[in-house]
Chain A
Amino acid sequence: MSEAVSNLLKGIDYSKEFELLVEAYEKSGGTPEVLKSDKYASLAIHGNHVLGKNEVRGLRVETVETENGVRVKVQVEPGVRIQNPVHLCFGLVPEEGLQEIISDFDIGEEAEVKFIAHCSFPNALRIKHVMDSTIRLRRGAKMTYSETHFHGDEGGIEVLPTTRATLEEGAVFENEFKLVKGAVGRLKIDFKAKVGEKAVCEIYAKVYGKGDDDIVVSESLHLLGARSKGLAKSRIAVTDRARSEVIGEIVGDAAYSRGHVDCVEVIRGREAQVSAVPRLLVRDDTAKLTHEAAIGSVDKKQVETLMARGLTEDEAVDVIVSGMLR
């Protein structure tokens, strides 16, 4: 651990580090039992400390602690279907610090696995969280990665998740990023995938920005293989002075490739701001890409429907937004 981080962790009882992380994990919606159970593969990392790790048959997790974080390598053997979800718990309990997780996922041919990740920074005042993931899904592999963040209420955090995914023939990848409770801080998602023949890549982002939160979601799906499919779906709500920008790009380069960008950004209040930049590029006359974006106020008919059942306008908007972000 770097001296800087060590200093920041001063005052924390290290024997309790795991308990503190688990407490934070719970705040972000995780269930602590799964981190202690043998039935679930799991990995718990606080700052640059690997505090817990459990492997199951067919799934290997290697870790190397670095100055500011951890290097992680996850491998799933070909043909293996991991029964239970793999739980990942990352975070930093102190108010300040840097956590850098560099990860590499290699999912073997025809293997199947689901990851549930929670990233918790409950006291964040000056934190930077970098996630650099390289993901490779071999032929016919299936992977679901669902990540939920919790950053406390102050918004003193910068989160930079970068993903580079490669999907080989027939692979299916579903990626979800969710940050709907507490503050966001500054979030910049950078996701790029290369989608091979008959492979399917679906990415979902759900974020609720408040205060001075700043959200940038930049997604790019490159449909390289014949009959590949891509979906980039974002649901963002912002209030106060928060801002969000969604850049959804799909490139249809292969025969019969299909892609769709679906973006809804809701704005509440006069000082918030949303923007959407869909970019579709087609280079094959049998490919087809579509996009729909609805940005601004909540759908009026939805609001009026709920008001006709007796909800005030604010209550109606709350119900609609929380449904959208569920």
Chain B
Amino acid sequence: MEDTGPGQGGAERLHCVVRFSEKNEPGYDYGQSDLQNLNNGTMRLQIEKLNVFVNGYHILKDVDLVVYKGEIHSILGANGTGKSSLAYTIMGLESYEVRSGRILFEGEDITRLPVWERARRGITLAWQEPARFEGLTVRQYLLLSRRASKKGPPPEEALLRVGLEPSRYLDRALDESLSGGERKRIELASVLAMMPKLVILDEPDSGIDALSINFITDSIRLFAKLGASVLLITHHEEVAAMADRSSTMCGGTVLKTGSPDEVARFYRLHCRECEHVNEPEEEVARNV
């Protein structure tokens, strides 16, 4: 058998969690003290020891995460570290099989709820690569999104908030004819239209031109201002910095949570050099 380095030989894989003793270092402030003020520390999302499999692959490992009411929580992590998988699992997508652990939303265990029931409780997701629809107009999509809660702004305003001129976009089809950036901004507009309690944004800033990034960050601030919690997945440290707290993921787990500064430093120092990013271990995930 080929030598795959440390961690080889046991059923348990030795990953960053072990290697970087900094994780959960005693006395480390998770950033929670700053949150004592944030809505009295009311937890909106609690993820406990979550293990998730996709197609038999162990994708998320012992993930723990808390997001407070009104908190913007950013997630940093190299490609393939499980950020989108975490987003999809919180949303409840079918392929993401939770084998152990649980997800609590406002104290209720939602681990087994179907997607739409989670949505109706106030969770939604803006996709990293949003789906395209034939024959569905932008207006219809925004109206459908607004239907569940009726709290969000009407389609025109939602579009303006992401910097798109309503008269040019409302009647267009949500199909392949939209550019990547346009489609992503419409995705964010649809989340605005829904105005849920927990917004999961999977790289809302990727593919957005530099001049328009303000529309994205302003929208994120608006969510928080209105009391929503935002789980913000991003590769941009500048965007991550707008969060109240930050976490970094590696090898399918949350390695570290803290202030955005702290986490960004940790990420720069360790994760960029991490061998799991550069040489992902084959046998790592296979654990059916």
Contacts and interface: CB of A to CB of B under 8 A. Distances in A.
Are A and B a genuine interacting pair, yes or no?
yes
A235 B134 CA distance: 10
Given A322-B135, A323-B136, A324-B134, A309 B119 contact: yes
Say whether chain A's binding surface is mostly helix, strand, loop, or mixed.
helix
Interface string B124-151: 1101001101111000100011011100
Given A309-B148, A310-B147, A310-B148, A323 B116 contact: no
A299 B136 CA distance: 14
Contacts of A325: 135
Given A304-B94, A323-B136, A310 B194 contact: yes
Interface string B181-203: 00000000010001000000000
A47 B51 CA distance: 67
Contacts of B125: 308
A307 B131 contact: no
Which interface class (under 10, 10 to 19, 20 to 34, 35 or more) fits B? 20 to 34
Interface stretch (A77-85, A163-171, A312-320): A312-320
A290 interface: no
Contacts of A302: 131, 133
Which interface class (under 10, 10 to 19, 20 to 34, 35 or more) fits A? 20 to 34
A277 interface: no
B120 interface: yes
Nearest to B194: A309
Contact of A305 (B94, B114, B127, B148): B127
Contacts of A307: 114-116, 119
A302 to B, nearest CB: 5
Contacts of B127: 301, 305
B91 A323 contact: no
A319 B93 CA distance: 19
A281 interface: no
A301 B128 CA distance: 12
A210 to B, nearest CB: 19
A300 interface: yes
Contacts of B148: 309-311
16 contacts: A301-B127, A302-B131, A308-B115, A309-B119, A309-B148, A310-B120, A310-B124, A310-B194, A313-B116, A319-B144, A322-B135, A323-B135, A323-B136, A323-B140, A324-B135, A326-B135
Interface of A: 235, 299-302, 304-313, 316, 319-320, 322-326
Given A302-B131, A310-B148, A310-B149, 14 more contacts: A299-B131, A304-B91, A304-B93, A305-B131, A308-B119, A308-B124, A308-B125, A309-B144, A310-B120, A310-B147, A311-B119, A319-B136, A322-B135, A324-B134
